[in-house]
Amino acid sequence: MSARARFESKLLSSLAGAGSMLAELRLIMDQEPDSQPKATVLGWILDDNLLAKRTASGRENATSKLVRRYVLDPSDLRFATFCQAWRVASTEPGQQALLAFLLYGTQDGLVRRAACEWLAPLLQEPGRELHKVDTVAYIERLAQAEPSVGAWRETTRKSIAEHLMTAARDFGFATGEVRKRVASPSVGPVVSWFAAKLGTMQQLSGGALLPSDWFRMLGLGVPQVVAALAAMASHGLGRFRASGTVVEIELFELPNGGGPR
């Protein structure tokens, strides 16, 4: 496995043109992409028309959007590790959705920041209704704080706000089609493993992993992270010990086969 992993910190507008595209990702993941070169993975969309797009331009557009969200490059450590975790969660689509959410967060700084600043506080109020006006207001505050976001057209920012809400539902953080309400999904052992693994790719270790963006994206505070990592260790995915200010974390390699742990 390659040691290459690049995390995008820029606030990008990837959500302007589409939402999560999680259904399309599932079709790709069914083909076991980590055993293939990137050209073959992209060829499933561009040449084999796996996603059943009518035109070549539609296939190219879908490919570009999926790459911006989910890497789709088996030589990239993030995607290769994601594929391993995805297989372990093969019988748990909700956990797979959370894995995809974290991977998307490595590709777009806006998704990661919005998850930590906008979504995470909402997760403390399960059942609360999500209102478009509040989501738009968050993006507008971000536009005032970040010139790059402020430079986008108003229609782009509104589209991002709309897709944030639908993506929150797709990834398991909300329910409902028209009226969406906050849900607080269970974070299972393999998701905790992947969140910690992303932190180690950023050279974080020990106690510095606990408040990392990857756990914050899931709405977990440090006490909840400690409990989640302890559960991960109890399922045989690593070792974890927290005593006072001393935090020790060791992540094991995941099994090649699928199935819950």
pLDDT of residue 89: 98
DSSP 208: G
Q: Which domain holds residue 77?
A: 17-92
**Is residue 9, in this structure, part of any structural domain at all?**
no
Q: Please identify, among 92, 120, 146, the residue that sits at the C-terminal boundary of a domain.
A: 92
pLDDT of residue 255: 84
**Is residue 231, in this structure, part of any structural domain at all?**
yes
- The answer to whether the pTM exceeds 0.85 is yes
pLDDT of residue 50: 98
**Is residue 210, in this structure, part of any structural domain at all?**
yes
The structural domain count of the chain equals 2
Q: Please identify, among 77, 92, 107, the residue that sits at the C-terminal boundary of a domain.
A: 92
pLDDT of residue 147: 97
Q: Please identify, among 92, 127, 145, the residue that sits at the C-terminal boundary of a domain.
A: 92
pLDDT of residue 4: 53
Task: Identify the segments of the chain with pLDDT beneath 50.
Answer: 1-3, 258-261
**Is residue 218, in this structure, part of any structural domain at all?**
yes
- What CATH code is carried by the domain that includes residue 203? 1.10.10
Pick from 35, 104, 114: nearest CA to 66: 104
**Is residue 144, in this structure, part of any structural domain at all?**
no
pLDDT of residue 6: 79
Q: Which two tokens stand for residue 147?
A: 């010139």
CA distance 88 to 108: 25
pLDDT of residue 2: 42
The CB-based long-range contact list for 123-127 (8 Å cut-off, 24+ gap) reads 123/173, 123/182, 123/184, 123/219, 124/184, 124/219, 125/182, 126/181, 126/182, 126/183, 126/184, 127/181, 127/182
CA distance to 47, 70, 72, 73, per residue, from 53 (Å): 11, 19, 18, 21
Sign of CA dihedral 213, 219, 220, 222: positive
**Is residue 118, in this structure, part of any structural domain at all?**
no
- The secondary element (H helix, E strand) that includes residue 255 is none
